[in-house]
Chains A and B, each alone.
Chain A
Amino acid sequence: MWDRTIDGKALNFHLAGINNQNFLMRDEETGSWWQQVTGEAIQGPLKGRKLAAVFCDEVSFAIWRSEQPRSRFLRPDPRVEKNYVTADWESKIARLPVVTRRTGAEDFDSRALMIGLVINGNAKAYPMADLQRQRLILDTVGETPIFLVVGDDQKSVRAFSRIAAGRKREFFVKTDATPFGLIDSETGTTWDFSGRATTGPLAGQQLQRIPTLKDYWFDWRTYHPQTSVFTPGSELHE
């Protein structure tokens, strides 16, 4: 999701090609080519420029609708609706070939789904399979204490800073609670999936969101060659 204004002018994009399974888009205004996943112009008059990222949430319809009741929703285009991917498209895509080269010993399948994030230049990927198993992962990336959490739908993932009211916190999943809830160990405050403290001493506080990208391992690694990867069971050093 990108801010498409460059130098005060809104650009209009078209598909222009494929670069190692990530698409290129061309802007009508200058004819430059942009890499979709990085928002960077790689050819043409605007080569080297970057579009500013717009914070984007990848969550299930149920979660978005309940949090944003006044949201509008993109309507299907009736002319091409029959070409839209089916509900089981992820399992179909998972069988498609991958062309980027694998480097050295890797523990992951090229099409393993990852939740990737970058904090102050430190890229880290969290295997979706580990997230779904653990539900909550506490971590520190660079100097920033964070957590990633999976929603009630078992699909939506969000990442937050663990700093609340000026202090670093530890969180636990509230067991047997529907809807979802997190508790911080120090104050016992309950937090919801949007990162808001609902009940307890810190009620009303909002945890800072951290942008994430759900991506295939091969794609994430191509554009973040220095990335580290979360290993389950790795101890959290505070």
Chain B
Amino acid sequence: MRKAVWLVLILALVASVVMVLIPVWLIHPFRRQTPSGIDISFILRRWSPFVTVIIAAGMMAAGFWLWRGTRRWWAKSVLVAFVLFALAPAWAARQNHFEWMFNPLPNAGYVSATQANFIADNDMVLGVEINGEAVAYPVRQMAYHHVVHDSVGGKAIVATY
């Protein structure tokens, strides 16, 4: 029985880690994506925050049960390590590693043309004009942030590049 619980503990940890890593692998840059790969990534990204927590809770319960019958110090250490490892995928499932690479810009700031000394005359901008209000998003900034939310001429827009 104890061996079976140990096995379940190991399998649960592997399942939890794999669930988080598969979408990271499937939708990473410079890899050819297929529609089914996108389907799988979406389902895993959507459900992994819940499933990894349930697995972590189950592992804690199993670890607690095993702890009571464990006397050797090293076996106890391994047990604690396992349960702590279970928290890693639960944490990772809540992270957006794309936003680690490309920081979002939640509070974008703007300046007038005379203060825009960070753009060279020949640098490209994405320009938009709605109801008389004009905004330009320099391409060099957009190629990093990729997504900028704005409201122009009363219309909520998202500049993407």
Interface residues of A (CB under 8 A from B): 1-5, 10-21, 23-25, 31, 33, 36, 42-44, 51, 54-62, 64-65, 68-77, 79-80, 83-87, 89, 96-97, 99-101, 153, 155-156
Residues of A within 8 A of B144 (CB): 80, 83-85
Q: Are A61 and B38 in contact (CB under 8 A)?
A: no
Is B8 positioned at the interface, with any CB of A under 8 Å from its CB?
no
Known: A1-B159, A73-B119. A19 touches B134 (CB 8 A): no
Is B62 positioned at the interface, with any CB of A under 8 Å from its CB?
no
Known: A73-B119, A80-B103. A59 touches B45 (CB 8 A): no
Q: Are A57 and B27 in contact (CB under 8 A)?
A: no
Is B70 positioned at the interface, with any CB of A under 8 Å from its CB?
no
Q: Are A56 and B126 in contact (CB under 8 A)?
A: yes
Residues of A within 8 A of B134 (CB): 64, 68, 70-72
Which partner residue on chain A sits nearest B149 by CB separation? A12
Nearest 4 A-B pairs (CB), nearest first? Answer: A17-B27, A71-B134, A15-B98, A68-B134
Q: 23 pairs across A/B with beta carbons < 8 Å?
A: A1-B126, A4-B149, A10-B156, A17-B98, A43-B38, A44-B42, A54-B157, A57-B126, A60-B121, A60-B124, A61-B122, A61-B125, A61-B138, A64-B134, A71-B129, A71-B134, A73-B111, A73-B112, A74-B135, A74-B138, A74-B141, A77-B145, A101-B32
Q: Are A155 and B122 in contact (CB under 8 A)?
A: yes
Q: Are B136 and A31 in contact (CB under 8 A)?
A: no
Q: From B38, B124, B160, give the contact of A19 (CB < 8 A).
A: B38
Is B57 positioned at the interface, with any CB of A under 8 Å from its CB?
no
Residues of A within 8 A of B39 (CB): 43
Q: Are A59 and B127 in contact (CB under 8 A)?
A: yes
Q: Are B96 and A14 in contact (CB under 8 A)?
A: yes
Residues of B within 8 A of A16 (CB): 27, 45, 96, 98
Q: Are B124 and A69 in contact (CB under 8 A)?
A: no
Interface of B is mostly: mixed
Chain B count of residues within 8 A CB distance of the other chain? 64
Q: Are A153 and B128 in contact (CB under 8 A)?
A: no
A59–B138 Cα gap in the complex (Å)? 10
A208–B97 Cα gap in the complex (Å)? 42
Q: From A2, A13, A71, give the contact of B136 (CB < 8 A).
A: A71
- A169 shortest CB reach to chain B, Å: 25
Residues of A within 8 A of B155 (CB): 3, 5, 54
A71–B130 Cα gap in the complex (Å)? 11
A85–B148 Cα gap in the complex (Å)? 16
Is B105 positioned at the interface, with any CB of A under 8 Å from its CB?
yes
Interface residues of B in 31-66 (CB under 8 A from A): 31-33, 38-39, 41-42, 45-46
Residues of B within 8 A of A86 (CB): 140
A62–B122 Cα gap in the complex (Å)? 7
Residues of B within 8 A of A58 (CB): 124-127, 139
Known: A61-B119, A68-B127, A74-B141. A36 touches B103 (CB 8 A): no
Which partner residue on chain B sits nearest A69 by CB separation? B113
Residues of A within 8 A of B135 (CB): 71-74
